[in-house]
Each structure stands twice: as structure tokens, then as C-alpha cells.
Structure 1
């Protein structure tokens, strides 16, 4: 048998941690001398220590490791390992997303040192003929499906779009919503067409806007809104309607976010 300090060296585990294992009922000494309270371990207990440390390296808590070590059926251990594998896969997906977001933000900071890179333009969007669809969508991912519906309606009536075509996403909610979004899509058209069940044709009125046009992913939107808000504070205008985006080059046209061109607009009075 080995005293605790000797066993500590053999197992590569501190005496303090061995005592903690004992307290957790993970690894009891093979013998405790009743006279001096010295603890003794056997060589075969190194296998248990190695199992504990291996399971710890997988991210299992000591409480769960105790539960695992008490399982006699190897199939039960496989279930624990499979569950932990799934958890790690989910954690990795979150970490990867966070890493990609940080890289994107860093790239944007490198390319745009300050808000002056987002130039605010005051302009009037003229009256225009549009085909329109408006619907409450579950979340932002539903916008692409709404564009597909609008596209199918255009194909059904052989709609002629303006040149260049202008696609507009209008957010009608009075405040920001990330779910149950009241969204209207408009495309400018030439000619007269018949209303359909979901798609309507009408002349949209002229509106005065403050806008910022930017290239790249929608991850820049917070900085764009910051630039618009700062500009608005220095002007004699007020927000007077829903916010909308003009999609000059949209995800429907190219899957590459670096090629997207978006004009974020605020309606003014």
C-alpha cells in the first residue's frame, strides 16, 4: 500500500484533491489507520483515479462522475458519453457563432473607424407604382419566404418591374419586434395589374427620408441606426412612420453578404 503523498505522486493528483474525492465518495482510501488517521491506497485504485480525471476532461462534474462510476452496465456509460457529446456539439455551435460574430465586428471596425463612414442622406422617395404584400411573420427568417410569395405573384401576372428594380422591406410595428413582425414588402412596377388574394397593386405616396446606404452584412445595422439617430438629433426633423430598407442588392440576388447593398431609411416630417 501507499501513503497518500506517495499515491499522489503515482496518480499525478494532489493530496488535497484525493481528500476531496474521498469527501465526494468517489475514491475511498483502501485503509485508514485508526491510530494516526493516515490514509493508504492500493495500486489498483490508480485505475479509478484515471477514470475520474478522464471524465473531468470531458466536462463532467464530480457529482455526475460519481453517478457514472456507480453504473455497472457499460451501455449506461455510453448513454452518458453520447449525451455529453451532444452538449459539446451545441456548445461548439454557440462558440463558433460568437467567434464568427466577433470576427465580423472586428472586420467592420477595421474598415470603418467611426460613424462618419455611414453617410446620412436627406432625400425624397418619389411616388411609385408598387406590388405589395403585408403579413405578420414569426421572425426575421420568414422574410425570404414572403419575397418568394411576391415573386410567384409577379410571375403569375407577368409583372414588369421598374429599371432598376427596387425592393423595399417596411417594418410597420410601432416598436422593435424580433418575433411576430408586421412586415410589408414592396417592389416597384411598371403597368397596371389586378389585385390578388395576398398581393395588392397601388401607387405608394412620395415620402421624405433620411437614409444610409451600406455594403455588407446586416450585422452593421446597429452602427447604421446609431449614425441615423445622431444625425436626427442635430436636425429639425422627426421620425414619422415605419422604418424601411431598400434592398439594392439582396440575399435573393447573391448569397455572399459582402456583396449585399442596403439602404436603411427613416421616414421624416
Structure 2
């Protein structure tokens, strides 16, 4: 048996942390002396503690680790599944950090050349275009910000299955319409839609009309800057919003290996101030 101090030294975990792990049921002392309360750990528990440390290094939360250790399934199978999932999560974070580093390098270069850190806004192209009426097959619901990625896959999956059942043909790439100006406690009023060629039961007409259009190459993190640029353009030129702004996903995010390969079209329906809506 090992005292808590010896166990602590071998595993490089403080005694305070070991006591906390015992409180939450992550790893319990093998024996506690009833007379003095001294805690002892078995040699066999060293491997379990080292596994906990390893999973912490892999960015697993204590709750996730406890769930793995308490699982009734075979440990190797549980670990294999959990590690693969965590690897994907970390890969996404790494990609975001790489994108951030690239953006920082770009900002530093601009500032060295005497430009403002916000000078990238000058390169956002805004064009005034006329978009014809389209038939939309859609799902509209309130979506919380952290749920968007999951809902994107779920809702478009349902829409594509419905298209297949009804033998409908896509007329353009998938799009998302935003019917609210801001998030509420219930989420953002969001419509996941696919433009289709045929008029059919369950579709609706959408008449964007005059729109400000910007094509975005790369990360979705650029979109807030695009919205800001479009609103500035509209105000300067005497236009105001007339319908739900929407994004068209020219490339499927699930089918690209890098964010730089993403292509998104952002549309901001407008009308001249004082004019009546045509919709």
C-alpha cells in the first residue's frame, strides 16, 4: 500500500487534488484508517491515476473521464470511441488557432505598412443585385447559437430526404434565412431552406428582390464584418432592410478540408428609404 503522499509524488498529483477526486468519486483511496483517517492507495491504482492524468492532458473534463471510467462497456471500446471524438474536437480547435494566427500575421503586416487593423474592411465587396422569386422548401425554428452546427446538419438532412421523397430538384445551394435582428433567450428565429425548381405542397414563395450581395471566401468568422459593411453601404446610399437577410452555402462545410475552401454568399435585402415593400 502507498500513503497518499507517496501516491501523490509518484503520479505528480497534489494530495488536495486526490482528496477532491475522492469527493467526486473519480478515484477513491483503497483503504482509510478509521482511527486517524490516513488514506492509502494500492499499487494497482497507479495505472488508473496515470490514465486519468493522460486523459486530462487530452483535454477531457473530469466529468467526461468519470463517465469513461464508470462505463459498463469494455474499457478499450469506450476509450477508442472517446479518443476519436476528442481528436476531432481538438483538430477543430487547432484549425481555429491556425486561422487566428494567420489573421494576426495579416493584421501585423498591415500595421507595419501603416494601415489600420480594420483596413481589411476595405476589401469587402458589396454589390447591388436583383434576385428573382424562388420556391423554398424549409424548416423554421428558434436556434441557440451553440446549436447551429448541429441543427445545420439535422435540418438539411431532413430537407434533402423530403426532396427525395417528393422527387424535387434543387435550384440552388442550401441557404439559411435569419428572421430576427438579435438573439433571444429562445434563440434566433432561423429558417433552413433549399431553393427548388418545382412548385409543390410544403414550399413557400420567397421574393428577395433588391439585395446587397457579398461573396465570402474562407472562414465564417468573417461574416459579422460583412454584415457591418453591408449595413454601412445601405445607410450611406439611402437604403434600408426590407426582408430576412440570408446566407447561401455554395460549398458544403462537411465536404471541405480547410476553412479557406469555404464559399458563402451573403444577401441583405434592401429598398430605398421611404419606398413600399414589393413583397
Does structure 2 conserve the Cα–Cα contact (< 8 Å) formed by 1:169 and 1:184? yes
Determine which of 170, 176, 186 is the counterpart of 1:169: 176
Q: Deviations over 1:67-112 (max 9, x none)?
A: 9894242234444333332222216968765543231123346678
Q: Cα gap change, 1:84/1:177 in structure 2, threshold over 3 Å: closer, same or farther?
A: farther
Matches within 5 A, 1:58-77: 60-61=13-14, 63-64=16-17, 70-77=39-46
C-alpha displacement of 1:202: 2.7
Distance 1:53 1:115, change over 3 A: farther
Equivalent-residue separation in structure 2 for 1:184 and 1:260 (angstroms): 21
Q: Which has the larger radius of gyration?
A: 1
8 Å CA contact 1:124–1:208 kept in 2: the answer is yes
Shift of 1:169: 0.7
| Other-structure match for 1:131 | 137
The structure showing larger relative contact order (alpha-carbon pairs under 8 Å, at least 6 residues apart) is: 1
Distance 2:16 2:211 in 1: 60
Partner of 2:268: 266
Inter-partner Cα distance in structure 2 for 1:160 and 1:130: 11
Tell me: CA distance 1:75–1:255, structure 2 relative to 1, closer, same or farther (3 Å): same
The two structures, once aligned, show a CA RMSD in angstroms of: 3.6
The residue aligned with 1:231 is 233
Tell me the equivalent position of 2:52.
83
1:243 matched residue in structure 2: 245
What are the Cα deviations for residues 138-169 of structure 1, in whole angstroms up to 9, with x where unaligned?
6112111211111111111221333xx24321
Structure-1 residue corresponding to 2:169: 160
Structure 2 counterpart of 1:14: none
Specify the alignment match of 2:153 in structure 1.
144
Q: What is the CA distance between 1:213 and its match in structure 2?
A: 0.8
Match of 1:202 in 2: 204
The residue that corresponds to 1:121 in the other structure is 127
Q: What's the CA shift for 1:245?
A: 0.2
Contact 1:167 1:187 in 2 (8 A): yes
Contact 1:245 1:263 in 2 (8 A): yes
Q: Does the CA contact (< 8 Å) of 1:174 and 1:242 recur in 2?
A: no
Q: Which runs of 5+ in 2 are unaligned?
A: 23-28, 30-37, 62-85, 111-119, 272-279
Give the Cα–Cα distance (whole angstroms) in 1 for the partners of residues 162 and 246 of structure 2: 22
Cα distance in 1 between the residues matched to 2:101 and 2:185: 25
Paired position in structure 2 for 1:100: 95
For these two proteins, the number of residue pairs brought into alignment is 213
Q: TM-score, normalised by structure 1?
A: 0.62
TM-score for the superposition, normalised by structure 2:
0.61
Residues 208, 269 of structure 2: 8 Å contact kept: no
Q: Quick one: distance in 2 between partners of 1:186 and 1:177?
A: 22
In the alignment, the residues of structure 2 paired with residue 179 and residue 54 of structure 1 have an alpha-carbon distance, to the nearest angstrom, of 49
SS in 2 for 1:249: coil
> Which residue does 1:182 correspond to in 2?
189
| Deviation for aligned residue 1:53 | 6.0
